[in-house]
Amino acid sequence: MLPMIAVREQLGILLAADATTLAPASLANKIGLVINNFALTENLHAADLTLASTNGLSPLAGVTGAQVVGLDPVTLQQKIVIKPPAGGFQWLTSGSFSGAITIYGYALLDTTLATLLAAALLPAPITVNAAGFLIDIDPVELTIVLSPIS
Mean pLDDT of 10-16: 95
- Give the residue, 86 or 149, on which the prediction is more confident: 86
Mean pLDDT of 20-48: 97
Quick check: 80 and 141 in contact, CB under 8 A? yes
State the pLDDT at residue 145: 85
- The kind and range of the H/E element at 106 are strand 101-109
Report, as an integer, the average pLDDT of 46-68. Answer: 98
SS3 143: strand
Per-residue pLDDT at 8: 86
Q: Residue 20 burial (CB < 10 Å; 0-12/13-18/19+)?
A: exposed
* Residues 62, 18 contacting (CB under 8 angstroms): no
Q: What is the residue extent of each domain of the chain?
A: 5-144
pLDDT (mean) for 135-149: 90
Asked if residue 4 has pLDDT above 90, the reply is no
